[in-house]
Structure 1
Amino acid sequence: MTEKDFIPSKYQELKEQGQVSYTSPSNIALVKYWGKKENQIPANPSISFTLEACATTTSLKYKKRAGDNSDFSFDLLFQGEPKPSFKPKIEQFFKRVISYLPFLTQYHLIIETSNSFPHSSGIASSASGMSALALCLMELEKEFVPTMTSELFVQKASFLSRLGSGSACRSIEGDLVQWGKHKNIEGSTDLYGIKYPYEVHPIFKNYHDTILLVDKGEKQVSSTVGHDLMHGHPFAEQRFSQAHKNLENLKVIFKEGNLKEFIKIVESEALTLHAMMMTSQPYFILMKPNTLEIINKIWDFREKSKTNVCFTLDAGANVHVLYPEVEKAEVFQFIQDELVAYCQNQQYICDRIGFGAKKLSVK
């Protein structure tokens, strides 16, 4: 597939009005994406667990406009209230996708969106939010192209999501989604995410992710700025090579269910991500003292308990605690007894592996 494959041919007659709604989850990368080229193309491939509980629900009401329009017309409500600060990002997204969704200027849109997790909780909502919006737009386009295949629908939804937020392309499906061209992963591409195409041991099919909210404040450096700082980074090429190698090694690990080796890659990837931040110019640190306290507590508990609990980090201070279903009782008790105290206001979110976005019935 190329970008041109997502440019539609002439539509059938456009609908006058209607409404569509989707809920789409966030995801947590195991092999991290950090650094990008033009048009949201990743500098290295990545793979993620799709989550279930942390999700965005978006409803899109559309009504055909009169006349010949060249601008975008939309209103945005977040959690039931107008959110003017979100509009520039949506407008930028529309500008990026207009050649792939040429009907956009012909409608007035009312976008209503809400998250299942607290706003400013430190959970990145761009992946769930942009994927939910992209799916709503694809559902609308499908009305004009009834012959569209389900495969093209999913691929284009992921492709559009990527143009809103890179990691959003990994939220359309589940439970393991890989994004970015890798020479030894069949079907992999920089344009959209794909369901991981190889055998995965049952131990990885029901993993838990307890998200410890260490710091809910706004990050001192945005992910967009952080990605840009990989240009000219002294360790960038080694990092990109490491990601390719880790994805290659995960093929055997996923097949065999080797949790010890899985932990090594996942934790190394998390720390490497933050090492890239700490060695960029300008350098910055997003981890907090309590992030490090939690990591050390996890290492100590894993050694003593012989469980397979591990951590990963996004571009922030919060800690994702990953563990298999078979160890849920013991690990969750440890989290409550020893880790929750390090969370801001003792807040945490219990999540687990999910299987992608869902279309909702419209009342």
Structure 2
Amino acid sequence: MTAQDFILKTYNANVENGSVKWSSPSNIALVKYWGKKEHQIPENPSISFTLSDCKTITEITYSKKEGNDFSFDVYFEGEKNEAFKPKIQTFFERIEAYMPFLKDYHFKIETSNTFPHSSGIASSASGMSAIALCLMSIEQELTDAVTSSAVEKSFFNQKASFLARLGSGSACRSIEGELVVWGKNESTESSDLYGIKFEGDVHANFNNYQDTILLVDKGEKQVSSTVGHQLMYGHPFAKERFAQAHDNLAKLKTILASGDLNAFIKIVESEALTLHAMMMTSMPYFILMKPNTLEVINKIWAFRMKTGSKVCFTLDAGANVHVLYPESEKEIVLEFIEKVLAKYCQNEHYICDQIGKGAELLIKS
């Protein structure tokens, strides 16, 4: 597939109105994407767990209009939100070539999250993927497309992921589950243009894998991910980092098949720390971890050493900690989180989740 394949050639301009509603989950990368080229193309491949309960629910109501401008209103948690409009305006400008009907309609975009905003969960991933899916359902309505066959359903998901990527890179990994690969590599079926469901062998050890997100710091990051990605240009360790990501993805493919949880821990934790090492060695340099982030990491290491547990951590580009562990250890790890780790969270707040199947169509009318 190329970008040209996603250009909508013809559509029914006589459809007056309609509405569609999707839920789309966040995701947590195991091999991290950090650094991008033009047009939201990743510098290195990544693979992520799709989450189950941490998701964005978005409804778009559309109605025919006159004029040749983008027209939309955004509501977040029931309140009109002007702060989100510039990002969606940019998104519409990027995807207009692939969805020429965008200026034919006024869109009312109503969105909400099942998790607290600015909680360190990738809301841009769930949010932009939910919008992309809604727009794909509208395209489907305007073209009378039928997605019952495997090929057509595949195209729907590919284009939704392609569009989501143009809103937020990691959003392309939120369309499907349970594991999604994004970025060309030699180890797996992959593409720079969209995320692809990982179809390699996955051992039963990873079934219903758990992710508890510790909300160490609910504040806005002092450096945005967009700025952080840009700082990989000219980074002294960028070339080595990109090569490391390819190597770790190849290793992780083997680990997922074998069920080797000790090897899984090494790759996942190393990837998390490498991500933050890139931030600390860029110019300008910055640190997104907080003191309590390090406290949590050390407590996890001590607990693992003492008990033999297979619990581990990963981090996004922020201070909060994703605690990953097999479903078989759910009881003991949650007790550890409640008794030991919760005190390092703001207001002892954490969110329990697990890997999920991907986005879901809720309403189409």
Q: Distance in 1 between matches of 2:134 and 2:193?
A: 19
Instruction: Supply the RMSD in Å over aligned alpha carbons.
Output: 1.0
Structure 1, unaligned runs of 5 or more = none
Deviations 1:249-280 (A, max 9, x none): 11110101000000000000000000000000
User: Alignment partner for residue 159 of structure 1, among 142, 162, 172?
Assistant: 162
| Mapped partners of 2:49, 2:207: distance in 1 | 10
What TM-score comes out, normalization by structure 2 length? 0.97
State the partner residue of 1:241: 243
Equivalent residue of 1:172, what SS? coil
Partner secondary structure for residue 322 of structure 2: strand
What pairs with 1:80-91 in structure 2 (closer than 5 Å)? 80-91=78-89
Cα deviation, residue 128, structure 1? 0.2
Using the TM superposition, name which of 115-124 and 293-302 deviates more: 115-124
Partner Cα separation in structure 2 for residue 154 and residue 32 of structure 1: 22
The residue that corresponds to 1:73 in the other structure is 71
Name the counterpart of 2:91. 93
Query: Contact 1:134–1:161 (CA<8 Å) still a contact in 2?
Result: yes
Pair 13,107 (structure 1): closer, same or farther in 2 beyond 3 Å:
closer
Structure 2 spans left out of the alignment, 5+ residues: 147-151
**Aligned counterparts of 2:69 and 2:142: Cα–Cα separation in 1:** 21
Residue type at the aligned position of 1:7: I
Aligned residues: 360
Show the counterpart of 1:3: 3
Deviations 1:33-67 (A, max 9, x none): 0000000000000000000111000000000113x
- 1:184 positional shift: 2.6
Same amino acid, percent of matched pairs: 67
Q: Post-superposition, which runs of at least 4 consecutive aligned residues in structure 1 deviate over 6 A?
A: none
Does 1:351 pair with 2:353? Answer: yes
**Equivalence for 2:149:** none
Secondary structure in structure 2 of the residue aligned to 1:77? strand
Q: Does structure 1 conserve the Cα–Cα contact (< 8 Å) formed by 2:48 and 2:179?
A: yes
Aligned-residue offset at 1:13: 4.2
Deviation at 1:79, TM superposition (A): 0.3
1:42 partner SS: coil
Note the 1:193-342 alignment, pairs <5 A: 193-342=195-344
Q: 1:362, CA displacement in angstroms?
A: 5.3
User: Following the alignment from structure 1 to structure 2, what is the Cα–Cα distance between the partners of residues 225 and 302?
Assistant: 35
Find the residue that maps to 1:111 and give its secondary structure: strand
Residue 20 of structure 1: aligned partner? 20
- Contact 1:230/1:280, CA 8 A, preserved across alignment: yes
SS in 2 for 1:36: coil
The answer to whether 1:184 aligns with 2:187 is yes
Residue from 148, 171, 174 that aligns with 1:171 = 174
2:136 to 105, 113, 138: 138
Alignment equivalent of 2:109, drawn from 108, 111, 124: 111
